[in-house]
Amino acid sequence: MILHRLESKLWESGLLAGYQRAAGGVWQPERLALSQTVQPHCATEGVSLDERSQVEMSTSFYEWQIYKAFLGQNLGGMAPGLPLLELGAGDGRITRFVLQMGFEQVIACDCNLGALRRLRSKLGPEERDRVVLIQNDIGQLSFPPGYFGAVIAIEVLYYLNEGYEGMLERLHQILAPQGLLMHSEPLLEGALTYALVAQDWDSVRSLCHERLKIEDIGQGQIARSRVFTLTELQAAGRGAGFAWRDLRFTPALNSVAVKQIGAAALEPEAKLELLRGVRQLLDSGQNPRCALVAAGKAQVD
Ligand SMILES: C[S@@+](CC[C@H](N)C(=O)[O-])C[C@H]1O[C@@H](n2cnc3c(N)ncnc32)[C@H](O)[C@@H]1O
């Protein structure tokens, strides 16, 4: 087996011990056992956020502009030479973005093999040299303390539910002293906006009382994920030793508009015109759906 530059480096340093390189260039544990904390739809359906982010009549299109600005500015000051870990990489819109930024050592993990294979198929040979794709449950990853200059987890950690706080603690351990964690989590306000528009009273109840989004994903299966108030989110970060350095929002009303206008009985051009009108909400920071947080290690007195 011919390993490329980054694979050889990780292999020689023992970080890929217990993994094997499967067809399609994705690394898998010799005995892959996704834990029960992996939500059923994450294991079966690979996301297509990279494709959706190109379609103007989609929530992802608008949110991607915000994510790119947030990641670009926060990563801009970091040395691209330090390893970067991406959790829940999906089909790779962020992986490709950080590779384009020049990061030399990117480790991207997702539980979904199909999404990772699609991600890899979009990379040129030079980009493949700088990334290792791992199919695993992010809760099962193990890296040496202080190893990463940055960890990115966009719209993924909240799927860990009870494991959320423990994961933040592990991320704190594997970040270098000046390392940065960039993550995005859904806020109660945005989730409630959706549930109220849909008049889904069970959801309103579980969001308010348990901070849980419970989705019926068909075939008798339920997906659970966390939502937070901003105060709860900050407290969780602080509890794991993080201090926030940057905070932005994606607007909820924007994505409600995408859904409602998309379903309207109008010509496509008329829909786009309405949607572009709503787009000004992008910069308003009002009515947030997700909080985008960049957090560094808190100073210990
Ligand atoms: C909403 S998508 C976000 C994808 C990507 N971060 C982006 O913004 O384009 C969430 C991703 O997290 C992955 N995921 C969820 N729980 C996971 C777990 N426990 N271990 C590994 N991946 C997980 C899913 O398979 C999915 O690809």
Least confident of 86-90, 140-144, 285-289: 285-289
Q: Is the pLDDT of residue 59 over 70?
A: yes
Instruction: Evaluate if pTM is beyond 0.85.
Output: yes
261 lines ligand 1 (CB under 6 A): no
Best of 99, 155, 156 for a ligand 1 pocket test (most atoms within 8 Å of beta carbon): 156
Percent of the chain with pLDDT over 90: 67
Residue 65 vs residues 55, 156, 282: alpha-carbon distances, Å: 12, 18, 9
Q: pLDDT tens-digit profile of 245-285?
A: 999 998 887 778 888 888 999 999 999 888 887 776 655 55
Cα(142) to centroid(ligand 1), Å: 18
Q: What are phi and psi of 128, to 5 degrees?
A: -60, -30
CB 217 within 8 A of CB 40: yes
Burial 64-92 (b: 16+ CB within 10 A, else e): bebbeebbeebbeebebebbbbbbbbbbb
- C-alpha of 257 from chain center: 23
DSSP output for 74-141: HHHTS-TTS-EEEES-TT-HHHHHHHHTT-S-EEEEES-HHHHHHHHHTS-HHHHTTEEEEES-GGG-
Cα(224) to centroid(ligand 1), Å: 14
112 lines ligand 1 (CB under 6 A): yes
Domain boundaries, the chain: 5-187+228-252+284-297
108 lines ligand 1 (CB under 6 A): no
Q: pLDDT tens-digit profile of 147-156?
A: 999 999 999 9
Cα(47) to centroid(ligand 1), Å: 8
Best of 28, 38, 47, 118 for a ligand 1 pocket test (most atoms within 8 Å of beta carbon): 47
Beta-bridged to residue 294, according to DSSP, are 182, 246
Query: What CATH class does 5-187+228-252+284-297 carry?
Result: alpha beta
Residue 291, classified by CB atoms within 10 Å of its CB into exposed (0-12), middle (13-18) or buried (19+), is buried
| Rounded CA Rg of the chain | 19
